[in-house]
Amino acid sequence: MSGCAPKAAAGAHGEKIHIAIDPVTRIEGHLKAEVTVENGKVVDAKVTGGMFRGFENILTGRDPRDAAQITQRICGVCPTAHSTASCRALDDAFKVKLTTNGRITRNLILGANYLQSHILHFYHLAALDYVDAAAVVGKVAPFAPKYDKPDLRLPPAINKAAVGQYVDALEMRRICHEMVALFGGKMPHVSGQVVGGTTEIPTKEKIEAYKTRFLQVKKFIEETYVPTVYLVGSVYKDLLTQGVGYKNCIAFGVFPQDDDNKTYLLKPGVYIEGKDMPMDAAKIKEYVKYSWYDDSCTGLHPSKGKTKTDVSKPGAYSFVKSPRYMDKPVEAGPAARMWIENPELSPVGKKQLKDLFGLTAVKFRDLKDLAFSIMGRHVARAEEAYMVAQAIDKWLTKVTPGAETFVPCEIPMEAEGLGLTEAARGALLHYIQIKDKKVANYQIVAATIWNCNPRDDMGQRGPVEQALIGVLVPDVNNPVNVARTIRAFDP
b/e code 330-348 from CB counts within 10 Å (16+ = b):
bbbbbbbbbbbbebebbeb
User: 7 pLDDT band (50/70/90 cuts)?
Assistant: very low
Give how far Cα 50 sits from Cα of 29, 125, 263, 486, Å.
9, 20, 37, 16
Average pLDDT over residues 211-238: 98
Average pLDDT over residues 184-203: 95
Torsion of CA 221, 224, 225, 226, to 10 degrees: 90
Domain range 16-278+327-488, its CATH number among 2.60.120.260, 3.20.20.210, 3.40.50.300, 1.10.645.10: 1.10.645.10
- Check: CB of residue 39 under 8 Å from CB of residue 61: no
Give the CB-side neighbour count of residue 435, counting CA atoms within 13 A. Answer: 6
Check residue 2 and give its pLDDT: 44
pLDDT at 8 over 80: no
Check residue 13 and give its pLDDT: 66
* pLDDT tens-digit readout, 397-419: 999 999 999 999 999 999 999 99
Check residue 145 and give its pLDDT: 81
Average pLDDT over residues 422-432: 98
- Check: CB of residue 292 under 8 Å from CB of residue 310: yes
Whether this model's pTM surpasses 0.85? yes
Start-to-end Cα distance in the chain: 14
Distance between CA atoms of 223 and 168, rounded to whole angstroms? 13
* pLDDT tens-digit readout, 433-475: 999 999 999 999 999 999 999 999 999 999 999 999 999 999 9
- Check: CB of residue 33 under 8 Å from CB of residue 471: no
Which residues, other chains included, contact 490 with Cβ-Cβ below 8 Å and sequence gap of 6+? 27, 117, 121, 125, 126, 333, 334, 377, 381, 424, 425
Length of the chain as a residue count? 491
Q: What is the DSSP letter of 277?
A: E
Check residue 140 and give its pLDDT: 84
pLDDT at 347 over 80: yes
pLDDT at 130 over 50: yes
Which residues, other chains included, contact 16 with Cβ-Cβ below 8 Å and sequence gap of 6+? 36, 37, 38, 43
**Choice between 145 and 400, residue whose per-residue pLDDT is larger:** 400
Distance between CA atoms of 470 and 20, rounded to whole angstroms? 17
* pLDDT tens-digit readout, 16-46: 999 999 999 988 888 999 999 999 999 999 9
- Check: CB of residue 69 under 8 Å from CB of residue 360: no
pLDDT at 11 over 80: no
Check residue 9 and give its pLDDT: 42
Which residues, other chains included, contact 392 with Cβ-Cβ below 8 Å and sequence gap of 6+? 107, 108, 111, 112, 115, 214, 218
Which of 8-12, 51-55, 183-187 is least confident? 8-12
